[in-house]
Structure 1
Amino acid sequence: MKHGVLSEADDLVVEEHPIAMTYNGISHAVMMATPADLEDFALGFSLSEGIIAHPGECYGVDVVNGAGGITVEIEIASGAFMELKERRRTLAGRTGCGLCGVDSLDQVCRPLPTLARAQGFNTEGVRRALSEIGPRQALTRLTGAAHAAAWCGMDGELRIVREDVGRHNALDKVIGAMTRAKAAPGDGFLLITSRVSFEMAQKASLAGVSALVGMSAPTLAAVELAETAGMTLLAFARGSDFVCYTHPDGLQLDSACQSPPPGAA
């Protein structure tokens, strides 16, 4: 029904499949995800979850399509695999909250790197990235049901864009693609179309990125994490508007930014 009128029409619906992550032949996690860019997803997930400490510990990724879903077979170094077995978690349904299946509190807040101050992060680049992300969201335009994440140059150029039905998955895919492209984390910032939750900020921080821009609201836990890690966090970013929550000294203002009038609160 549209404008009170009943009609029949074809519609496109976003794909959502169970994706099983196995490490050295042992099943570790099952997520509902969009079945695209799965090699990026596997590498980004492995890094952001601390399963591997660096890309060199991932020896290979194979995507296997089966009747019940898709299995991503990841071969990792023996040392990383031994550590993984010691802290096995069941992560089915991960797209809901990002922490489903964590079985102890010390697994939630992992040690964060101390991030260097963002260099070259500026309002003009943020505005450009925000203006260009919409046309790059093909799944969202077709279905209205996908999240996007992007790795942007400091000038706002969208260098890597990934979409997924799950916001965590979209960010993991970008982190994996950045790693495969050998992108330097200090050369740009991350843009996400979703809210900035604790885990989204944690993933960005663990990737070594000093500036994160979210198009929706942040959570208090995400703001506190960004403050502690030294990350410049912007949220409610739309058009020319945004709110800077942490480390404003990492954001360069351009001439289009006006000071408030005298006496303004």
Structure 2
Amino acid sequence: MTRFTPTTTVPETARRNGLVRSGTRTVPEEVPIAFSYGGTSHAVMMGTPADIEDFAVGFSLTEGIITNVDQIAAIEPIEDERGIDMQITLVDDAADALRVRRRHMAGPVGCGLCGIESIEQAVREVPDVSKVALTISYGDIVKAVALLSDAQVLNHETRAVHGAGFYIPAEGLIAVREDVGRHNALDKLCGALIRSGHRGPEGVVAVTSRLSVEMVQKAAILGSSVLIAISAPTALAIRTAEEAGMTLVALVRGDDFEIFTHPQRITPGSIADVA
């Protein structure tokens, strides 16, 4: 739990249908959320202060700091008036691996190549999900996005946050997480899933944002072979999904959508019964 709330109410002056009125609006909060391992700060993200333990676990997974939730011994949020510091304690092997990684990332200032580790991380290889035995129908695509939209509680209040959901054919949408940041929402979803014992190969990741390469990387690390979005993909996201064996579906609008990679996982199926 955190004393920070995910939303707040602010005064506004609105013009609607030619009329001006004073009122209030609910908006999402955005606070610094730091991830510290062994007492040392690793990264600070601006995010929505909700589901922050899921965020800590999911970030640790998608950043390659852990490979499973059992490698985290404890998570303690430390708060002040400015933000939240997630103090994460790793088990010995994972803590040792992170210390080695930090030493390799340290380099001389001004060398001209100091960013090489960050560049390699940005274009890192992603896990191969081509062998995942999952097929979905046209109806599954439409249903996953429709259910995700319906389940976005924070977005219904604010109209200002992204959502990420996990959909299993024949079961439906089993988890949803939201955040002002699209990457954060997906990290929170990854954390929620591995904490609950679900595995990425079981289902489909659906998001309300555009598909950048980072979204493909995170979904592949989770182990999901299908990534669906309501917006468009980037060229690098398409190339990365193609190489990873991931099915990329985007621009889902009602019954319409576009398939960019590995369409063999998608079978014709009824859309009429989705609503």
Q: Which residue of 2 aligns with 1:194?
A: 209
Q: Which residue of 1 aligns with 2:54?
A: 40
Q: Which amino acid letter does the alignment assign opposite residue 220 of structure 1?
A: A
Q: Which residue of 2 aligns with 1:66?
A: 80
Is it true that 1:173 corresponds to 2:207 in the alignment? no
Q: Which residue of 2 aligns with 1:76?
A: 90
Deviating beyond 3 angstroms after TM superposition, the runs of 4 or more aligned structure 1 residues are 85-89, 101-104
CA distance in 2, matches of 1:56, 1:200: 24
Q: Which residue of 1 aligns with 2:235?
A: 220
Q: Which residue of 1 aligns with 2:249?
A: 234
CA distance in 2, matches of 1:132, 1:102: 41
CA distance in 2, matches of 1:255, 1:25: 53
CA distance in 2, matches of 1:171, 1:153: 16
Decide which of 16, 19, 43 is 1:5's aligned counterpart. Answer: 19
CA distance in 1, matches of 2:152, 2:185: 12
Residue 156 of structure 1 deviates from its aligned partner by 6.5
Decide which of 119, 130, 138 is 1:123's aligned counterpart. Answer: 138
Contact 1:126/1:156 (8 A) holds in 2: no
Q: Which amino acid letter does the alignment assign opposite residue 167 of structure 2?
A: C
Q: What's the secondary structure of 1:104's corresponding residue? A: helix
Unaligned runs of 5+ in 2: 1-14, 106-114
Aligned residues, how many?
247
Residue 4 of structure 1 deviates from its aligned partner by 3.0
CA distance in 1, matches of 2:90, 2:261: 36
Q: Is the strand fraction higher in 1 or 2?
A: 2
Q: Which amino acid letter does the alignment assign opposite residue 82 of structure 2?
A: G
Residue 125 of structure 1 deviates from its aligned partner by 1.4
Contact 2:139/2:270 (8 A) holds in 1: no
TM-score in terms of structure 1 length: 0.87
Contact 2:34/2:42 (8 A) holds in 1: yes
- 1:135-178 per-residue CA deviation (whole Å, 9 max, x = no partner) reads 21111111111000001112371100011011000000000011
Q: Which residue of 1 aligns with 2:71?
A: 57
TM-score in terms of structure 2 length: 0.84
Residue 256 of structure 1 deviates from its aligned partner by 5.1
Unaligned runs of 5+ in 1: 90-100, 258-265
State the identity as a percent: 41
Q: CA RMSD in A?
A: 2.0
Q: Which residue of 2 aligns with 1:244?
A: 259
Is it true that 1:144 corresponds to 2:144 in the alignment? no
